């Protein structure tokens, strides 16, 4: 059997032949593995999770968009999840987060590598002074625009945060995982919490149609100014016409006009009736005054007044009429006995004449009363006509004012509706969950918390793997060295390479002395390393 084909024997031969080199290489890597946990900067992983819910879209019109029904739920797609991840890892969001924390004095990054410690000062030293003291003076001398010196520290911090931020979508779910590595756990927790707040706010602005708060403030001021002007004009118009509610007053005036017109019609009928009776009475009185017959003693009117279908007679007219009738009847009876020229007949005629004159006088007084009553009715009719005209004029003023008030009320209602819409949209954008149908369907599933254990470095992983790596590299180095070493190591190589037989092999009789030091001591370990 060819000795070269015994790989295990060859492996142990090479290993034990170079055990000193293997020990030293292994010890070097073991020391490095022991020192790495002490040298490397500690890093803490701050984790958080964002849940992207299904989107609730209304199926109704604009008037039913705020109701709880008429909606369908659409699950987020892969494109939606990728969009949410891109929003979370966007440099603008991270830059804004760092700016907010720097404004509060809560962001003081601690670079972990030497190049990060040196890059920023060197960049400021090379870029800013070079531009400030060399480039800008030359450009100014040539009449060119001078480039402003800009502080790039925020850009450096932003890029560092992007490198330390890991955002992935959990497979088969609508959850986004956020892992941020920071040497300061408290500062990293504040960074992730502020970033999530800014993410929700920026996402609301991106996916909604809300406008900035300044827009609502401007609209509110315009609404107040316009509303004050309209209310002032409305109040001035009401004060000008002296009314508080034109509609109610118009109704009241119309009822009053109806009542006055009914009374006016009654007074006009009464006037016409009284006018005809007065003309009749005057004609009858004139005829009674012109007659000279004693037997013509009656008057063709009884002076009876009817009120509510009840007749009221004039007692004075009735008494003197009956008296006159009695005297005339007695005279006519006495005329059959006495001579017309006799003294009793003359006395009777004289008495009849006086009574008749008294009767006609009373009739004349009644006609005068009816004439006065007619004048009163006429004045009442004129008064009611003037009152109705005044009511109609007032109604016309109120109708004109009501038309203007309706126009102003329409404009005021439009202002109220517009401002109510603005205020409602502003409230929806300012409240996280004002309604179930809001556009912000992303929620923080797991808020960040300050970790208590270091994520990197982990000595329990670095030391064993470092020692194993050192052992494997030492063996590999020894095998590479053996590969390039062409000297003979055993007799079979002479026969194989030169074709000559080996007559005698003399083994080295030098035996290494044992470790003279006590076990598990430093001198014993140093002796083991040297030998």
Contacts with 123 (C-beta within 8 Å, 6 or more apart), sequence order: 152, 156
In this predicted structure, what is the pLDDT of residue 388?
A: 92
Would you place residue 320 in the very low, low, confident or very high pLDDT band (cuts 50, 70, 90)? Answer: confident
The helix or strand, by DSSP H or E, that contains position 126, with its residue range, turns out to be: helix 114-130
- Residue 448, Cβ neighbours under 10 Å: how many? 22
Residues 47, 448: contact at Cβ < 8 Å?
yes
Q: Helices 246-290 and 343-430 meet at what angle, rounded to 10? A: 170
Is it the case that residue 59 has pLDDT exceeding 70? no
Contacts with 443 (C-beta within 8 Å, 6 or more apart), sequence order: 50, 51, 53
The helix or strand, by DSSP H or E, that contains position 47, with its residue range, turns out to be: strand 44-52
Residue 527: Cβ-neighbour burial (10 angstroms; 0-12, 13-18, 19+) = middle
Would you place residue 383 in the very low, low, confident or very high pLDDT band (cuts 50, 70, 90)? Answer: very high
In this predicted structure, what is the pLDDT of residue 124?
A: 44
In this predicted structure, what is the pLDDT of residue 156?
A: 87
Is it the case that residue 70 has pLDDT exceeding 60? no
Q: What are the tens digits of pLDDT across the range 473-516?
A: 888 888 888 778 777 777 777 777 777 888 777 766 555 566 66
Mean pLDDT (whole number) for 388-394:
91
CA distances from 502 to 9, 14, 263, 488, 491 (A): 20, 22, 160, 13, 7
Exposed e or buried b per residue across 90-116, where buried means at least 16 C-beta atoms within 10 angstroms of its C-beta? eeebbbbbbebbeeeeebebebbeeee
In this predicted structure, what is the pLDDT of residue 478?
A: 83
Question: How many alpha carbons lie under 13 Å from residue 69 in its C-beta half-sphere?
Answer: 0
Give 291's DSSP letter: -
CA distances from 217 to 423, 424, 427, 431 (A): 10, 13, 13, 17
Residue 526: Cβ-neighbour burial (10 angstroms; 0-12, 13-18, 19+) = exposed
Is it the case that residue 27 has pLDDT exceeding 60? yes
Tell which wins on pLDDT, 293 or 420. Answer: 420
Mean pLDDT (whole number) for 309-334:
79
Q: What is the distance of C-alpha 354 from the center of its chain?
A: 103
In this predicted structure, what is the pLDDT of residue 65?
A: 42
Bridge pairing between strands 71-74 and 55-58? antiparallel
Gap between the Cα atoms of 288 and 276, Å rounded = 18
Q: What is the pTM for the complete model shown?
A: 0.45
In this predicted structure, what is the pLDDT of residue 382?
A: 92
Cα-Cα end-to-end distance for the chain? 34
Mean pLDDT (whole number) for 303-316:
71
Assigned token pair, 335 = 């005329």
Assigned token pair, 433 = 């969950």
Domains and CATH numbers, the chain: 46-208+439-447 (no CATH), 241-430 (1.10.287)
Gap between the Cα atoms of 189 and 45, Å rounded = 9
In this predicted structure, what is the pLDDT of residue 207?
A: 63
Q: What are the tens digits of pLDDT across the range 344-361?
A: 888 888 888 888 888 888
Q: Is the dihedral of CA 71, 73, 78, 81 positive or negative?
A: positive
In this predicted structure, what is the pLDDT of residue 64?
A: 43
* Apex 185 CA angle, 179 and 186, nearest 5: 120
């Amino acid at each position: 059997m060819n000795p070269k084909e015994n790989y295990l024997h060859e492996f142990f031969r090479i290993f034990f032949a170079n055990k000193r080199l293997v020990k030293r290489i292994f010890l070097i890597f073991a020391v490095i593995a022991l020192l790495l946990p002490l040298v490397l900067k500690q890093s803490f992983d701050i984790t958080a999770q964002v849940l992207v819910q299904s989107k609730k879209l209304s199926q109704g019109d604009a008037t039913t968009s705020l109701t709880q029904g008429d909606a369908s739920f659409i699950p987020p797609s892969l494109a939606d999840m990728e969009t949410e991840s891109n929003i979370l890892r966007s440099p603008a969001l991270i830059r804004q987060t760092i700016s907010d924390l720097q404004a509060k004095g809560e962001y003081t990054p601690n670079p972990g590598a030497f190049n990060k410690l040196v890059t920023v000062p060197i960049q400021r030293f090379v870029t800013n002074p070079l531009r400030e003291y060399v480039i800008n003076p030359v450009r100014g001398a040539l009449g060119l625009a001078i480039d402003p010196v800009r502080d790039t520290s925020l850009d450096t911090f932003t890029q560092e945060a992007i490198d330390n931020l890991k955002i992935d979508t959990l497979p088969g779910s609508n959850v986004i995982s956020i892992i941020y590595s920071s040497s300061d756990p408290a500062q990293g927790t504040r960074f992730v919490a502020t970033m999530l707040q800014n993410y929700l706010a920026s996402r609301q602005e991106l996916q909604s149609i809300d406008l900035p708060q300044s827009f609502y403030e401007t609209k509110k001021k315009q609404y107040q100014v316009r509303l004050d002007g309209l209310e002032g004009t409305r109040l001035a118009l009401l004060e000008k016409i002296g009314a508080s509610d034109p509609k109610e007053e118009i109704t009241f005036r119309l009822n009053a006009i109806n009542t006055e017109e009914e009374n006016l019609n009654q007074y006009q009928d009464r006037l016409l009736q009284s006018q005809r009776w007065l003309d009749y009475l005057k004609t009858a009185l004139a005829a009674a005054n012109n007659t000279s017959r004693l037997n013509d003693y009656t008057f063709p009117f009884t002076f009876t007044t009817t009120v509510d279908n009840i007749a009221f007679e004039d007692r004075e007219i009735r008494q003197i009429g009956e008296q006159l009738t009695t005297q005339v009847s007695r005279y006519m009876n006495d005329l059959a006995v006495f001579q017309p020229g006799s003294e009793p007949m003359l006395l009777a005629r004289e008495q009849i004449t006086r009574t008749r004159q008294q009767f006609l006088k009373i009739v004349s007084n009644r006609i005068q009363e009816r004439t006065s009553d007619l004048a009163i009715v006429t004045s009442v009719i004129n008064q009611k006509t003037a009152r109705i005209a005044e009511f109609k004029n007032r109604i016309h003023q109120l109708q004109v004012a009501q038309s203007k008030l309706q126009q102003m009320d329409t404009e005021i209602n439009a202002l109220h509706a517009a401002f109510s819409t603005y205020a409602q949209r502003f409230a929806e954008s300012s409240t996280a969950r004002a309604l179930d149908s809001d556009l912000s369907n992303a929620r923080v599933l797991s808020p960040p918390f300050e970790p208590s254990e270091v994520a990197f470095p982990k000595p329990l992983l670095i030391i064993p793997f470092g020692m194993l790596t050192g052992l494997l590299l030492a063996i590999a180095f020894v095998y590479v060295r053996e590969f390039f070493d062409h000297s003979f190591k055993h007799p079979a190589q002479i026969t194989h390479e030169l074709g000559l037989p080996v007559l005698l092999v003399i083994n080295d009789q030098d035996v290494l002395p044992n470790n003279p030091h006590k076990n598990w001591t430093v001198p014993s370990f140093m002796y083991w390393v040297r030998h």
